[in-house]
Amino acid sequence: MVTEAANPNLSPSDVASRFYSPPLDKALELRDYAATAIAATTAGAAVSFYSAATTAFEIVLRTAAIGGTVDGSNLWTITVTADNESTFTSPITLLTHALPATAGSRRFIVASEEVQRLAVIASMTTSPSLIRVTATETGTTAGDLTYGCWIEPVSPV
């Protein structure tokens, strides 16, 4: 499920320029939005995630506008995966999202069944699950990619 990450309490003129989010836990940051733009497929460093401590979480994705030609043959795709090994030989895919050319912020809820799969992975070792983000370029005409990605806990209802 994708929900926009804009604060509903802002006036319409403010929504486009502000990103609403709780304070960022840097330990759950998969990619810093302020990092240098990437020009080719790049996997980020993995972060430790203790899935047994939550029933659901959100993956938040923020992107700048992508220059060049972005269409069905030339685009960037974001994939977030989890594994219990740092080599990511048998990862679970938590998210795959093809990016539009426009800037934006999106939230993706990782529901309890995926969290349970992570807990099973973590129980196979004494280590937490590892989660990382990969940006994959398809084609040659999409411009460089500036993006940030992080994990946020979902508050119980």
Q: Domain limits of the chain? A: 30-153
> Max Cα separation, the chain?
50
Phi, psi of 62 (to 5 degrees): -125, 130
Report whether CATH 1.10.1740 matches the domain 30-153: no
In tens, the pLDDT along 129-144 reads 889 999 999 999 999 9
Phi, psi of 117 (to 5 degrees): -60, -40
pLDDT higher than threshold 80 for residue 78: yes
pLDDT higher than threshold 90 for residue 104: yes
Strand 2-4 and strand 57-63: pairing?
A: unpaired
Mean pLDDT score across all residues of the chain: 81
Nearest residue to 43 via CA among 6, 80, 18: 80
